[in-house]
Amino acid sequence: MPTLGAQSRVDCIVIGGGHNGLVCAAMLARGGRSVLVLEAAAGLGGAALTREFAPGYQVSAGAHLLHLMPADLLSDLNLSTQGLEWAAQGLPTTALIAGGAPFVVGQGLSAADAAAYTLYTARMRRFAAALVPILSKVPPRLGTDAWADRLSLLRLGWQIRKLGRRDMRELLRIGGMNVYDLLQENFDSPALKGALAFDAVLGTNFGPRSPGTVLTLLYRLAAESAAGSGALSQPKGGLGALCNALAKAATAAGATIRTSAPVARIVVEADRAAGVVLESGEVIAARTVISSADPKTTFLQLLGARYLDAGFVRRVRHIRSRGLSAKLHLALNQAPQFQGLDANSLGGRLLVAPSLQHIEHAYNHAKYGEYSAAPIMEITVPTINDPALAPAGGHVLSAIVQYAPYTLKEGWHDGRQLFEKLCVDMIESFAPGLRSSIVGTELLTPVDIEREFRINGGHWHHGELAFDQFFMVRPVPGAAQHRTPLDGLYLCGAGCHPGGGVIGIAGRNAARQVLTQGAA
């Protein structure tokens, strides 16, 4: 282990310049700490970056819609003064139906479904609002005598209690259910049920019949509730522009950011984190190290099992972190012509999830190491609202595609081409003539996502968001409050509570933990 030189020392090193690392750095710098962000990639943003994928065509290469970041975080960091602009806000969600007319979700329903939809959305919004404090706070520790933990638990209980008896009972009833049963109870229209279930399984290793999918849906709704309007937004310049604004907020507060600076190891001295060694061999000392890399990477690769007890290492090894979401990017020389779509809908979010059964079938393949024969998709055409992302007249199509298992039976080297063709065929079935306008393509499988964004397993949430990897046990017991078993080492990425999505809460809460615990 190299000895740390005193010449290069900061209060806090943040590993990773994804959005959570940047939020964390900005908050720490504002709190008076000297902060150094070390990002392995040449650009900032992690899984929320904008980059070129075909000559002249830019895309949000991971996340492509912003809808979860709390409004108070955006305003606290003053991102509008740091260059953040909107290409579009309040985007509609439209369900594409094979052989039928597309419909904006929630509109054009039968009288019975329309009435049920009003009741359902109002109830789910009430539940989501009650869950906001759970989502946005550092989870309390279980079984301690500390008043802060007891108070925090009491507050959470009170938040649920405030719902009143009927809602409380209903929340308890549905909380552990699967979204399939919930939607079957409420609606008739297969297409509506498919569209609503999509949000419960997006980014997960679940189908609608998997236990815990009401939880994942409520989680998303709670984050949208904290975001204010819950509206889907598209930053001008893609998600990378949001991260550039976060980086400006961090540097304006005094943080230093270095890209192309991969961390090879976390240095331990006197039983605490004391700095890092870069892959270049450079050693940098710090009183606190905060990692936004996923938990497996942080603990097993950067720190090393020998600094942790065996039980903790076993829990980290068992984190389920294999992604099932792929990303397809198409460079087009003209706008795609989706049948029956108006210009407003084309600029919004398009879903291919025609029924609960369809989604469940699509998921079934993934259980056996196969990609879905008829995948489900979230499609955007960001250039409708932000033409500068493509050459004049050109367009970008960005689609999240499920299910594409990390471990494909035949391997992605052999399976990639057929899967890409399958996805393009499916999109073309809604947008005839699409193929003839394609001038460039890129498919990111979970294995590509792992490599490009350095996320072990290529998972959207850095680790499955499920009951056993959730809230007070996320990512694992012993590291659920952003602190880790090693003094001076903290976590701030999507692997922590409240999980993935471009949300920033993990970064903010980790900074608060460092600042209040006086570790630096």
Ligand X SMILES: Cc1cc2nc3c(=O)[nH]c(=O)nc-3n(C[C@H](O)[C@H](O)[C@H](O)COP(=O)(O)OP(=O)(O)OC[C@H]3O[C@@H](n4cnc5c(N)ncnc54)[C@H](O)[C@@H]3O)c2cc1C
Would you give the binding string for ligand X spanning residues 256-295, x where CB under 6 A is met? ------xx----------------------------xx--
Rounded to whole angstroms, the Cα distance separating 34 from 82 reads 20
Min dist CB 277 to ligand X, Å, is 10
Query: Is there binding between residue 63 and ligand X (CB under 6 A)?
Result: yes
Nearer to ligand X, 65 or 424 (CB): 65
- Site string (298-337) toward ligand X, x via CB under 6 A: ----x----------------------x-x----------
Output 233 or 345, the one with its CB closest to ligand X: 233
The amino acid sitting at 400 is I
Q: Which of 46, 382, 394, 405 contacts ligand X by CB under 6 A?
A: 46
**From 74, 289, 434, 494, residue interacting with ligand X (rule: CB under 6 A):** 494
| Distance in Å, CB of 256 to ligand X, minimum | 14
- Strand blocks (E) in 211-368: 232-235, 256-258, 263-269, 272-278, 283-291, 325-332, 349-352
Shortest distance in whole angstroms from residue 161 CB to ligand X:
30
* Candidate residues 87, 91, 134, 502; the one interacting with ligand X per rule CB under 6 A: 502
Whole-Å CA distances, 77 to 63, 74, 278, 382: 21, 6, 29, 25
> Binding to ligand X by residue 382, rule CB under 6 A?
no
When binding is defined by CB under 6 A, the residue of 178, 233, 251, 297 that contacts ligand X is 297
Nearest CA to 477 among 314, 329, 254, 291? Answer: 314
Are 103 and 92 spatial neighbours (Cβ–Cβ below 8 Å)?
A: no
Q: Which residue's CB is nearer to ligand X, number 423 or number 502?
A: 502
* 62 contributes a contact to ligand X by CB under 6 A: yes
Q: Closest Cα to residue 46, out of 247, 220, 224, 206? A: 247
**Given the complex with ligand X, which of 15 and 36 has the nearer CB atom?**
15
- The binder of ligand X chosen from 12, 16, 303, 316 (CB under 6 A): 16
Q: Of the candidates 238, 237, 246, which has an alpha carbon nearest to the alpha carbon of residue 17?
A: 246
Q: Using the structure block, give the residue that is written with the tokens 């600042």.
A: 515
498 binds ligand X (CB under 6 A): no
When asked if residue 39 is in the footprint of ligand X (CB under 6 A), the reply is yes
H or E element in which residue 446 lies:
helix 446-453
Residues in the chain: 520
For the chain, the farthest-separated pair of C-alpha atoms sits apart, in whole angstroms, at: 72
Question: Residue 400: which of 436, 435, 364, 449 has the closest Cα?
Answer: 449
Binding flag, residue 68, ligand X (CB under 6 A): yes
Give me the least distance between CB of 186 and ligand X, in Å please: 26
Q: Which stretch binds ligand X (CB under 6 A): 37-45, 357-365, 415-423, 465-473?
A: 37-45
Q: How far is the CB of 213 from ligand X (least distance, A)?
A: 17
Name the segment binding ligand X (CB under 6 A); options: 40-48, 102-110, 137-145, 427-435.
40-48
Q: What residues pair up with 265 in beta bridges, in sequence order? A: 277
501 interacts with ligand X by CB under 6 A: yes
CB of 68 to ligand X, least distance (A): 5
Give kind and range of the element (H or E) at residue 450. helix 446-453
Pairwise CA distance, residues 44 & 277, whole Å: 20
Of 213 and 380, nearer to ligand X (C-beta) is 380
DSSP per-residue codes, 451-479? HHHT-TTB-TTSS--SGGGSGGGSS-TTS
Residue 38 is a binding residue for ligand X (CB under 6 A): yes
Q: How many residues bind ligand X (CB under 6 A)?
A: 39
Give the residue among 416, 417, 324 at the shortest CA–CA distance from 367: 324
What is d(CA 493, CA 326) in angstroms, rounded to the nearest whole number?
20
**Among the listed residues 501, 462, 507, 509, the one whose alpha carbon sits nearest the alpha carbon of residue 232:** 501
Residues at the interface with ligand X (CB under 6 A): 15-21, 38-41, 46-48, 62-65, 68, 262-263, 292-293, 297, 302, 325, 327, 400, 449, 453-455, 460-461, 493-494, 500-502
